[in-house]
């Protein structure tokens, strides 16, 4: 890369909703094969990178996001992303990462993954690495299953652990109302609950006879930009275990569906609930009525772009 390097780079990366998530049997290594359709939505993490001797991080929340409990050491995914890029690219400089979180923590919307994707893009620009996108995507997959999608954005199908991506055709825009929850759910705990349920009912359920796959009707609805059609096909295998762990969420789902949502779904491993509205006006109405009922509701839309310098 030629020319002077920037003193500061700001990148934003979106949170995601899994509009379809089928979970296969647990593998010998404890992980599950999944088939998912991701949609990136207009709730963004923002990472500002400035030159520094070491790799350091500060995290601030927004009015709806409590960042207490988010690690600010080597466990933070954004720190790991910066260190990994430096190692692979032979960079000896450090970076200070200022992270502004708008995606709920442990909310099933891939907030930490978005931070990692944003940190990769920001450090790549700050250090003048110029790494090809495909190589950045490979680093992203080493950081976590949802990180490659936060880099790519838009609409995509994820297989394997969710990290083997193929972009999906999509048209139009989908309006969602999100209801975050102040107490997060741990992704491994939700998968563990799913395994325990399948174990208890092994005789009735049996082992899966095929690899998980995204329902073609979901892809058709996304291609058509048809919210009614999508509402009829959304599915999340983590919803039942998430509701089992957090029965209070069922009441919120009912409230949203009774207030005009076309469909309500647990986002990823939860506990954020995502309600699909027929259009922007319906989403605003739904947001108002959920807020009036005492639920903190956010109106977002998708699909939006992946991690980008702003």
| 36 lies in the binding site for ligand ATP (CB under 6 A) | no
Burial class of residue 248 in the structure, from the number of CB atoms within 10 Å of its CB (0-12 exposed, 13-18 middle, 19+ buried): exposed
| Stretch of 72-80, 201-209, 235-243, 255-263 lying at the interface with ligand ATP (CB under 6 A) | 72-80
Of 81, 85, 106, 266, the one binding ligand ATP by CB under 6 A: 106
What DSSP string runs through 25-84? EEPTTS-EEEEEEEEEEEEEEEEEEEEESSEEEEEEE-TT---TT---STTSHHHHHHHH
- Whether 163 is a known active-site residue: answer no
Q: Could you tell me the smallest distance in angstroms from the CB atom of residue 171 to ligand ATP?
A: 26
Q: Are strands 308-309 and 235-236 parallel, antiparallel or unpaired?
A: unpaired
| 115 lies in the binding site for ligand ATP (CB under 6 A) | yes
Tokens of 6: 């920037």
| 304 lies in the binding site for ligand ATP (CB under 6 A) | no
Distance CA 144, CA 79 (A): 13
- 259, 276 contact by CB (below 8 A): no
Of 70, 123, 234, 297, the one binding ligand ATP by CB under 6 A: 70
Of 80, 68, 64, 69, nearest to 143 by C-alpha is: 80
| Stretch of 68-76, 82-90, 133-141, 205-213 lying at the interface with ligand ATP (CB under 6 A) | 68-76
Q: Binding-site residue total for ligand ATP (CB under 6 A)?
A: 21
- Whether 101 is a known active-site residue: answer no
Q: Which is nearer to ligand ATP, 194 or 282 (CB)?
A: 194
Q: Which residues bind ligand ATP (CB under 6 A)?
A: 70-71, 75-78, 105-113, 115, 146, 184, 187, 268-269
Which residues belong to the active site? 16, 146
């Amino acid at each position: 890369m030629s020319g002077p390097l920037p003193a500061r780079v700001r990148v934003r990366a979106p949170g995601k909703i899994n509009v379809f998530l089928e979970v296969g049997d647990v593998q010998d290594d404890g992980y599950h094969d999944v088939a998912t359709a991701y949609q990136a939505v207009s709730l963004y993490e923002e990472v500002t990178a400035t030159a520094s001797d070491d790799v350091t991080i500060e995290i601030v929340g927004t009015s709806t996001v409590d960042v207490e409990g988010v690690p600010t050491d080597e466990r933070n995914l954004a720190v790991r992303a910066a260190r990994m890029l430096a190692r692979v690219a032979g960079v000896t400089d450090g970076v200070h990462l200022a992270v502004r979180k708008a995606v709920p923590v442990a909310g099933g919307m891939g907030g930490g993954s978005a931070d990692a994707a944003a940190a990769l893009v920001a450090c790549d620009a700050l250090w003048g690495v110029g790494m090809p996108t495909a190589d950045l995507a490979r680093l992203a997959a080493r950081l976590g299953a949802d990180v490659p999608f936060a880099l790519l954005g838009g609409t995509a199908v994820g297989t394997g652990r969710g990290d083997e991506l193929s972009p999906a055709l999509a048209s139009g825009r989908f309006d969602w109302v999100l209801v975050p929850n102040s107490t997060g759910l741990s992704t491994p705990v939700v998968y563990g609950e799913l395994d325990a349920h399948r174990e208890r009912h092994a005789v009735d359920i049996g082992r899966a006879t095929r690899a998980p796959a995204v329902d073609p009707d979901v892809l058709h609805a996304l291609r058509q930009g048809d919210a009614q059609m999508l509402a009829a096909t959304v599915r999340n295998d983590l919803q039942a275990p998430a509701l089992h762990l957090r029965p209070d969420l069922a009441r919120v789902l009912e409230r949203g569906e009774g207030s005009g949502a076309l469909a309500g779904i647990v986002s990823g491993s939860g506990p954020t609930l995502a309600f699909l509205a027929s259009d922007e006006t319906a989403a605003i109405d739904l947001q108002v009525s959920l807020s009036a009922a005492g639920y903190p509701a956010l109106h977002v839309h998708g699909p939006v772009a992946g991690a980008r310098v702003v």
